[in-house]
Amino acid sequence: MKDVVEDNARVRDANAFQAKASEWPRTFYGTAWKEGQTAALVTKALKAGFRAFDTANQRKHYVEADVGAALEQACLAGLAHRQHLFIQTKFTYPAAQDARLPYALGAPIETQVAQSVSSSLAHLRVDHIDSLLLHGPTHAHGLSEVDRRAWRALEASSADRTVRRLGISNVSVSQLEALLSWAEYPPAFVQNRCFAVTGWDRDVRHLCRAAGVTYQGFSLLTANTEVVHHPPVVALAASLGLDAPALIFAFARQLGMVPLTGTTRWEHMQSQLASERITLDAALVEELERIALP
Ligand SMILES: NC(=O)c1ccc[n+]([C@@H]2O[C@H](COP(=O)([O-])OP(=O)(O)OC[C@H]3O[C@@H](n4cnc5c(N)ncnc54)[C@H](OP(=O)(O)O)[C@@H]3O)[C@@H](O)[C@H]2O)c1
């Protein structure tokens, strides 16, 4: 009986999940490397129209607490409502942290995950996190026993709905295949650095599509400067009344991605949000997909 109840709960959850998927953000505002400007830039991004924010409980690169302070302030000021915000953060292993850890060094991984989640809730001043990512596997190849235990701990944090969605970042196609084969709560998201030279992470994207996982792409501009500045791309964007970054963002969405941007400039925020309304010709999407393939 318990199994049936749990299965039904999971089916209901999966359905709610699908329903919500169509309402998922089409662009994330990324908050890495903003240090003392974090709160001001989050407020600016909210004013520009962003409602989805990406951070991490990794003080080395993010100030998660300032993201939370800015979002809370915006809600109190009536600029946004919590239910319209999508807040995503990450659990990061000690190897990718500096000394400012959100958990006890040397504690079992299950404890570290639980402490990191508690700390994120406090930093973000929320009672639930919309999406929590494992920042990356322990090794470049394969998934380790620590990864498996960390994922189980993340699953436990989502069991009471404190965490609504799980995801994983910086994964290869074989790592994602492995995770999908044993995860009880499969990832809703993959977040990867997206290189044009790999067909914009084609293999991982295709696996995501087949498995119903939403692909989030970062460094779309910074990892692909040769494409962004490629004269035919610039000319094509101009012919559509866009700048090249907006063209790349619109293209990325048509490939099924949710792009992240960490821009600091108002006009870039506006152009990247405006690119949500652009639909490109299918032939053009195919051409751009192949543009940097060797
Ligand atoms: N999971 C991970 O391991 C991981 C790793 C890295 C990043 N991330 C996430 O991804 C987010 C985004 O990072 P990112 O690597 O994509 O880079 P980014 O930090 O967003 O940098 C984008 C760069 O492109 C420029 N830019 C943006 N729009 C432009 C436009 N329309 N025209 C010209 N220049 C433009 C920005 O300059 P301006 O400020 O002048 O616009 C900035 O220098 C991060 O904040 C973080 O949340 C995750």
| 184 to 146, 155, 166, 181, 230: CA distances (angstroms) | 16, 8, 11, 9, 44
Smallest Cα–Cα separation from 10: which of 162, 130, 208, 159?
A: 159
Q: Residue whose CA is closest, atom 43 of ligand 1? A: 263
Indicate which atom in ligand 1 lies nearest the CA of residue 265: 41
**Is the C-beta atom of 58 inside 6 A of ligand 1?**
no
Say whether 246 sits in a helix, a strand or coil.
helix
The pLDDT score that the predictor gives to residue 20 is: 56
Identify the domain containing residue 173 by its residue range: 2-187
* Domain annotation covers residue 79: yes
* Domain annotation covers residue 92: yes
Stated pTM of the model: 0.94
CATH code of the domain covering residue 167? 3.20.20.100
CA of 28 relative to ligand 1 center, distance in Å = 10
* Domain annotation covers residue 81: yes
- 266-274 and 38-48 helices, crossing angle to 10°: 40
* Domain annotation covers residue 181: yes
For the chain, how many structural domains are there in total? 1
* Domain annotation covers residue 235: no
* Domain annotation covers residue 192: no
**Is the C-beta atom of 115 inside 6 A of ligand 1?**
no
Test site for ligand 1: of 61, 62, 92, 222, most ligand atoms within 8 A of the Cβ: 222
What would the two tokens of residue 22 be?
Answer: 């169509």
**Is the C-beta atom of 270 inside 6 A of ligand 1?**
no
* Domain annotation covers residue 197: no
**pLDDT tens, N- to C-terminus, the chain (294 residues):** 333 334 434 434 544 444 456 678 999 999 999 999 999 999 999 999 999 999 999 999 999 999 999 999 999 999 999 999 999 999 999 999 999 999 999 999 999 999 999 999 999 999 999 999 999 999 999 999 999 999 999 999 999 899 999 999 999 999 999 999 999 999 999 999 999 999 999 999 999 999 999 999 999 999 999 999 999 999 999 999 999 999 999 999 999 999 999 999 999 999 999 999 999 999 999 999 999 999
* Domain annotation covers residue 241: no
The pLDDT score that the predictor gives to residue 15 is: 40
**Is the C-beta atom of 224 inside 6 A of ligand 1?**
no
What are the residues whose beta carbons fall under 8 Å from the beta carbon of 99, sequence distance 6 or more? none
